[in-house]
Amino acid sequence: MRLNHVLKVAAGAVALAVVATGCGGGSDKTASQHAADGKLTVGIKYDQPGLGLHNKDGSFSGFDVDVAKFVADKMGVKPENITFKEAPSAQRETLIQNGQVDFIAATYSITDTRKEKVDFAGPYLLTGQSLLVRADNTDITGAESLNGNKKLCSVKGSTPAQNVKDKYAKEVQLQEYDTYSLCVEALKSGSVDAVTTDDVILRGYAAQSPGALKVVGAPFTVEKYGIGVKKGDTESRTKINDAIDAMISSGAWKTALEKNFAGTGFQAPAPPQVDRY
């Protein structure tokens, strides 16, 4: 009796462990394998107007969303079979590594440090870091005016935050929030003096608050937006690169940019050359 009881308890524990693992983990399949099944899970930003936005009606919009849909279509997946998942800056590598998303298109700058953990297709957009300030601000005109212990907001785990730490840490008080939308709210309330991230992101926020915010100065870095996939997944990366090339050559790339940033003052750059490393 005792032995049977022990065996039953052990079996129950194993079953619970299996259930717990299944609930908490991601998938071991690649993006291409999931696409072959007719579905994809894609990481995007939820709070960046013009790029990745979760709208009040439950829909998703933005240039990154359009890129993701085009890529998915070329991989054989219909828009209604895409599951969009929020991908905060500091969690992007983890989401890919754990198999919680198939790929990420979320203003994801390609860097050597990130390439140690994930692979990138693209780039699909070139931009640069800039500054967002209140419309009545006259003393912040660009990166060179970040002095006098001004409070500058960026996002944890982001390239712009690291750039500020590396180049301006002695001259500014860097405030790191979880999202750029929180930074923008802090800017509006006067808690910070400026927000820094890529120009294309800031243009969207400025357009969302006309007359209240403005982008100042010329971009002072070069950022290459790529689509992140699991490290070593060459097949999926190649397919995504092919899709990006097709989007550019077909004119859909330019159309998507112009549609998502109409009236923001953002000047669409020349399309990038896909890196086939």
Return the domain boundaries, the chain. 31-127+224-260, 129-216
Residue-averaged pLDDT of the chain: 89
Banded pLDDT at 73 (limits 50, 70, 90): very high
3-state secondary structure of 120: strand
Q: What is the mean pLDDT of residues 268-276?
A: 91
Contact yes or no for 62/50 (Cβ under 8 A): yes
The yes-or-no answer to whether 31-127+224-260 and 129-216 have a common fold is: yes
Q: What share of the chain is helix, strand, coil (3-state, %, to 5)?
A: 40, 25, 35
Question: pLDDT tier at 190 (50, 70, 90 boundaries)?
Answer: very high
For residue 3, what pLDDT is reported?
A: 44
Confidence category of residue 21, pLDDT binned at 50, 70, 90: very low
25 pLDDT band, cuts 50/70/90, is low
d(CA 246, CA 244): 5
pLDDT at 276 over 80: yes
The dihedrals phi and psi of 173, each to the nearest 5 degrees, come to -100, 105
Write out pLDDT tens, residues 47-62: 999 999 999 999 999 9
Mean pLDDT of 3-31: 51
Q: Is the pLDDT of residue 23 over 50?
A: no
CA distance readout (Å), 194 to 29, 200, 222: 42, 16, 20
Q: What is the pLDDT of residues 206-257, one digit of tens each?
A: 998 989 999 998 898 899 999 999 999 999 999 999 999 999 999 999 999 9
Lowest average pLDDT, out of 13-27, 78-92, 96-110, goes to: 13-27
Going by C-alpha positions, the residue among 202, 95, 227, 65 that lies closest to residue 157 is: 95
| 210-222: burial string, b at 16+ Cβ within 10 Å, e else | eeebbbbbebbbe
pLDDT band at 265 (very low <50, low <70, confident <90, very high): confident
* Range with lowest mean pLDDT among 85-89, 109-113, 169-173, 186-190: 169-173
- Averaged pLDDT, 132-146: 92
Q: Which is higher by pLDDT, 175 or 263?
A: 175
DSSP at 153: E
Helical H runs in 190-262? 199-208, 234-250, 252-260
CATH number belonging to domain 31-127+224-260? 3.40.190.10
Please determine, looking at this structure, whether the domain spanning 129-216 carries the CATH number 3.40.190.10: yes
